[in-house]
Amino acid sequence: MPAMLQPIRDDLALLRGEIQQTKGEIQRIKVDLKDVKREIRYTRRISALTRNSNTRPTDTAIFEIVLFANLDDPTAAPHNLPPLQSPEEIRGLRRHPLRAYVHGYYPNLEVPHSDEECIKLVFHRIGAYSHVHE
């Protein structure tokens, strides 16, 4: 009886090897996919910066959401900040979300105490340079 099972054992051993090989391929695909996602987020960030830098300095300007320096979306978890789609929304930010935006856009900078300075930093980091009132 054991000799009759040998072909099945051989097939199982072959299948185990193929499964291990497939697992390795899946891991490589996951790494590649992670890289692709990062590139997409980076491209999204550059696109939003470019679009925002071309807006006219009016209060009716509409901005694209610019991802943080680490490519997190500020409006998604874990940040859940309000979207900054207009100059009015930026100038109307409360103290905590305003400082959270500054920290997200400038992670190595000590957040200024002045709300006006924080607002200028946010306008600059989202590419809306012409909207900064000196």
Question: Would you state the pLDDT for residue 134?
Answer: 58
Q: Residues 73, 65: contact at Cβ < 8 Å? A: yes
Measured between alpha carbons, how far is 67 from 69 in angstroms, rounded to an integer? 7
User: How many other β-carbons are positioned within 10 Å of the β-carbon of residue 32?
Assistant: 10
Measured between alpha carbons, how far is 122 from 132 in angstroms, rounded to an integer? 9
pTM: 0.79
Measured between alpha carbons, how far is 119 from 134 in angstroms, rounded to an integer? 11
Question: Would you state the pLDDT for residue 109?
Answer: 96
Whether the upstream peptide bond of residue 112 has omega within 30° of 0, thus cis, is: no
pLDDT at position 54 over 70? yes
* Confidence class for position 66, pLDDT limits 50, 70, 90: very high
Question: Would you state the pLDDT for residue 11?
Answer: 85
